[in-house]
Amino acid sequence: MQYVSAGPSGASANYIKDACTPEIYLGLNYKKDNLLLRAGVNMLSIKPRVNNGSVKVDDRITTLTPFFFGQYKSGLFSAKVKTVFAEAGEHFNLNGGYGISAKNTDGSFDYTPTRNSSTWASFMYGKKTQWILFAGYVKNFGTKSDLYTGEGEMHKDTDGKLYALASNLYFSKNSFSNMNQMYRLTPTVIHNIGKFAIGLEYELTSVQYGDYKTVEGVKYIGVNGLAEDNLHWITNHRVQALVKFTF
């Protein structure tokens, strides 16, 4: 597996192995002339734990992730767009995960997935000289239900705002749970000279982060799974050149 689910033991394929249920995908394709459309939904059911110390438990979380893709070509022009609305989604390498929403008397846990969207569009025109524009946007909507706030595992601010333990939220190993949204713009130009191609690309990436609430060295996050204190943007600029020879 290229990407695996997060969980109490870190990122691991054991969660889907222990669930004994396959990952299921259902999709539909439509093609006519210059237009291609695809839509589908992914279902994943995993078991984050199989025991609570010495007690066997039947923890499980099942998530659905729909997507849409469209492509249009006409002459020297082409356009592509894709959007995904993921529950959890870390097994797609998306900005998501899941957290504990309840701890039951039999030792089992209930879980709630994060909900996040990832959308991009790409436009290209030309053959000898190709003009390309890429734009993408990612949004973290937080958890579907509130995270667990039992005794000793929550913090209440002076204004009454509740926070849950950040360690009860299992997030993608390639991202950060305090990332709230991100956008990227990438204009590119490529000029082809026979078997040579030279190109220049500028990339603007801007990410909005929030701060965790830290109390006596313990890290907390909003009960909705979002770090919304002190929201701030960090922007990165990158320019890269390309020289390619095809043989």
Task: Please report the pLDDT score of residue 67 as a whole number.
Answer: 98
Residue 53: predicted pLDDT: 82
> What pLDDT is stored for residue 171 in this prediction?
95
Cα–Cα distance for residue pair 182/185, rounded to 1 Å: 11
Report the pLDDT value the prediction gives residue 90, as an integer from 0 to 100. 93
pLDDT computed for residue 219 by the predictor: 94
Q: What is the pLDDT of residues 156-182, one digit of tens each?
A: 988 888 999 999 999 999 899 999 999
**Ranges of the chain with pLDDT below 70:** 1
At 1 the pLDDT is 58
Please give the pLDDT value at position 99: 97
